């Protein structure tokens, strides 16, 4: 079996939430790695995140925990309420640090998670211009 690649927990949580919370470059990097599709456009990121989420949960079952799902919902709501980009980034960084420290969760999460590619059949290559 092929060895995975390490990604920051914040990048993984960006996929889980469908939001480029660590920046779109980090989100694109993990999505391209997981799918092998280097032709992804920003308008495809949400769909591709949805393709990858079940495989991230299979690789790291703790990501499917109800507290993580609640964390994502809460973060999305708080994030939408903020206008300033630096405030949004500070909020996300604070929440990720809580994950790493285990604050409010049943376990601590490592700062880096090994992520494997998804099966070829799990990703649909779509040309957004057609």
* CA–CA dist 43, 62 (Å, integer): 28
* CA–CA dist 125, 130 (Å, integer): 12
pTM: 0.88
The mean per-residue pLDDT over the stretch 25-49 comes to 92
The token pair that represents 73 in the structure block: 């919902």
Domain boundaries, the chain: 5-122
**pLDDT reported for residue 22:** 76
pLDDT digits (tens, 9 = 90+) for 50-100: 999 999 999 999 898 888 888 888 888 888 888 888 888 888 888 889 889
Identify the band that residue 114 occupies on the pLDDT scale cut at 50, 70 and 90: very high
**With 70 as the cut, is the pLDDT of residue 119 above it?**
yes
Query: Angle at Cα 88 formed by Cα 21 and Cα 81, nearest 5°?
Result: 115
The mean per-residue pLDDT over the stretch 28-51 comes to 92
């Amino acid at each position: 079996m092929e060895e995975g690649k390490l990604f920051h927990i914040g990048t993984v949580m960006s996929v889980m939430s469908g939001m480029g919370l660590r920046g779109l470059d980090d989100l694109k990097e993990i999505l391209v790695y997981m799918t092998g599709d280097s032709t992804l456009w920003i308008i495809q990121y949400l769909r591709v995140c949805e393709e990858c989420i079940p495989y991230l949960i299979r690789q790291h079952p703790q990501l499917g925990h109800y507290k993580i799902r609640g964390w994502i919902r809460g973060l999305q709501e708080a994030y939408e309420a903020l206008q300033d980009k630096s405030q949004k980034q500070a909020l996300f960084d604070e929440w990720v640090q809580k994950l790493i420290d285990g604050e409010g969760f049943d376990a601590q999460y490592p700062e880096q998670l090994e992520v494997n590619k998804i099966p070829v059949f799990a990703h649909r290559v779509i040309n957004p211009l057609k």
